[in-house]
Amino acid sequence: MAGLHETLGEREKNRERIRQDAPDLFAAFSGLIAANMKPGALDRRQKELIGVAGSVITRCEPCLAHHIRDAVAAEAGRQEIIEAASIGVNFGGAPSFVFVTRFSCNSWTMWNGEVIRGSHAVLLVESN
Protein backbone atom coordinates (compact mmCIF):
# COMPACT_ATOMS: atom_id res chain seq x y z
CA MET A 1 0.00 0.00 0.00
CA ALA A 2 1.46 3.35 -1.04
CA GLY A 3 1.70 6.44 1.12
CA LEU A 4 -0.81 9.27 1.08
CA HIS A 5 0.97 11.52 -1.41
CA GLU A 6 1.86 8.67 -3.77
CA THR A 7 -1.73 7.45 -3.76
CA LEU A 8 -3.09 10.94 -4.44
CA GLY A 9 -0.63 11.46 -7.29
CA GLU A 10 -1.62 8.17 -8.92
CA ARG A 11 -5.30 9.03 -8.42
CA GLU A 12 -4.86 12.32 -10.26
CA LYS A 13 -3.09 10.61 -13.18
CA ASN A 14 -5.90 8.06 -13.43
CA ARG A 15 -8.59 10.76 -13.26
CA GLU A 16 -6.92 12.67 -16.08
CA ARG A 17 -6.69 9.50 -18.18
CA ILE A 18 -10.39 8.71 -17.75
CA ARG A 19 -11.29 12.38 -18.37
CA GLN A 20 -9.58 12.13 -21.75
CA ASP A 21 -10.72 8.60 -22.65
CA ALA A 22 -14.34 8.84 -21.44
CA PRO A 23 -15.25 12.51 -21.06
CA ASP A 24 -18.99 11.87 -20.71
CA LEU A 25 -18.44 9.37 -17.90
CA PHE A 26 -16.00 11.72 -16.20
CA ALA A 27 -18.38 14.69 -16.48
CA ALA A 28 -21.35 12.70 -15.18
CA PHE A 29 -19.43 11.32 -12.21
CA SER A 30 -17.91 14.72 -11.43
CA GLY A 31 -21.41 16.23 -11.50
CA LEU A 32 -22.67 13.62 -9.06
CA ILE A 33 -19.80 14.36 -6.70
CA ALA A 34 -20.36 18.12 -6.97
CA ALA A 35 -24.07 17.73 -6.22
CA ASN A 36 -23.40 15.55 -3.19
CA MET A 37 -20.63 17.73 -1.78
CA LYS A 38 -22.37 21.11 -2.08
CA PRO A 39 -23.42 22.80 1.17
CA GLY A 40 -26.57 21.41 2.72
CA ALA A 41 -27.71 19.95 6.03
CA LEU A 42 -24.24 18.42 6.44
CA ASP A 43 -21.15 20.59 6.22
CA ARG A 44 -18.07 19.73 4.16
CA ARG A 45 -16.20 18.32 7.18
CA GLN A 46 -19.04 15.93 7.99
CA LYS A 47 -19.35 14.84 4.35
CA GLU A 48 -15.62 14.15 4.11
CA LEU A 49 -15.74 12.09 7.31
CA ILE A 50 -18.59 10.07 5.80
CA GLY A 51 -16.34 9.67 2.75
CA VAL A 52 -13.60 8.29 5.01
CA ALA A 53 -16.00 5.69 6.43
CA GLY A 54 -17.29 4.75 2.97
CA SER A 55 -13.75 4.42 1.64
CA VAL A 56 -12.88 1.99 4.42
CA ILE A 57 -16.05 -0.04 3.82
CA THR A 58 -15.23 -0.39 0.11
CA ARG A 59 -11.47 -0.65 0.77
CA CYS A 60 -10.75 2.02 -1.86
CA GLU A 61 -7.23 3.29 -1.17
CA PRO A 62 -7.36 6.31 -3.53
CA CYS A 63 -10.77 7.24 -2.12
CA LEU A 64 -9.48 7.05 1.45
CA ALA A 65 -6.44 9.20 0.67
CA HIS A 66 -8.67 11.76 -1.08
CA HIS A 67 -11.22 11.95 1.73
CA ILE A 68 -8.55 12.11 4.44
CA ARG A 69 -6.84 15.00 2.63
CA ASP A 70 -10.13 16.84 2.15
CA ALA A 71 -11.30 16.12 5.71
CA VAL A 72 -8.10 17.73 7.00
CA ALA A 73 -8.68 20.68 4.65
CA ALA A 74 -12.20 20.97 6.13
CA GLU A 75 -10.64 21.14 9.60
CA ALA A 76 -11.38 17.59 10.74
CA GLY A 77 -9.00 16.47 13.44
CA ARG A 78 -6.92 13.32 13.42
CA GLN A 79 -9.15 11.63 16.02
CA GLU A 80 -12.31 12.46 14.03
CA ILE A 81 -10.77 10.81 10.97
CA ILE A 82 -9.75 7.74 12.96
CA GLU A 83 -13.27 7.46 14.42
CA ALA A 84 -14.83 7.78 10.95
CA ALA A 85 -12.50 5.02 9.71
CA SER A 86 -13.56 2.93 12.71
CA ILE A 87 -17.21 3.28 11.68
CA GLY A 88 -16.18 1.96 8.26
CA VAL A 89 -14.63 -1.05 9.95
CA ASN A 90 -17.94 -1.66 11.76
CA PHE A 91 -19.63 -2.11 8.40
CA GLY A 92 -16.77 -3.64 6.43
CA GLY A 93 -15.70 -6.27 8.96
CA ALA A 94 -12.33 -7.97 9.11
CA PRO A 95 -11.18 -7.07 5.56
CA SER A 96 -11.82 -3.39 6.29
CA PHE A 97 -9.93 -3.68 9.59
CA VAL A 98 -6.89 -5.08 7.79
CA PHE A 99 -7.21 -2.36 5.12
CA VAL A 100 -7.36 0.53 7.59
CA THR A 101 -4.52 -0.97 9.63
CA ARG A 102 -2.30 -1.17 6.55
CA PHE A 103 -3.21 2.34 5.44
CA SER A 104 -2.62 3.80 8.89
CA CYS A 105 0.84 2.25 9.09
CA ASN A 106 1.78 3.80 5.75
CA SER A 107 0.08 7.18 5.94
CA TRP A 108 -1.36 8.28 9.26
CA THR A 109 1.92 8.15 11.11
CA MET A 110 3.50 10.58 8.64
CA TRP A 111 0.97 13.26 9.61
CA ASN A 112 2.82 14.39 12.70
CA GLY A 113 4.13 17.84 11.86
CA GLU A 114 3.55 17.45 8.12
CA VAL A 115 1.70 20.04 6.08
CA ILE A 116 -1.06 18.39 4.04
CA ARG A 117 -2.37 20.50 1.20
CA GLY A 118 -6.12 20.17 0.80
CA SER A 119 -8.40 21.69 -1.77
CA HIS A 120 -9.55 24.46 0.57
CA ALA A 121 -6.70 25.17 2.96
CA VAL A 122 -3.24 24.25 4.10
CA LEU A 123 -3.33 22.92 7.63
CA LEU A 124 -0.73 21.54 9.99
CA VAL A 125 -2.08 18.20 11.13
CA GLU A 126 -2.29 17.81 14.87
CA SER A 127 -0.08 15.35 16.69
CA ASN A 128 -1.51 12.90 19.21
pLDDT digits (tens, 9 = 90+) for 36-47: 999 899 999 999
Entry pTM: 0.74
What torsion do the CA atoms of 31, 33, 36, 40 make, to the nearest 10 degrees? -90
Question: What fold, for 4-124?
Answer: AhpD-like (1.20.1290)
pLDDT value for 128: 37
Q: Using CA atoms, how far apart are residues 2 and 49, in angstroms rounded to an integer?
A: 21
The per-residue pLDDT for range 43-59, each reduced to its tens digit, is 999 999 999 999 999 99
Looking at residue 122, the DSSP 8-state letter turns out to be E
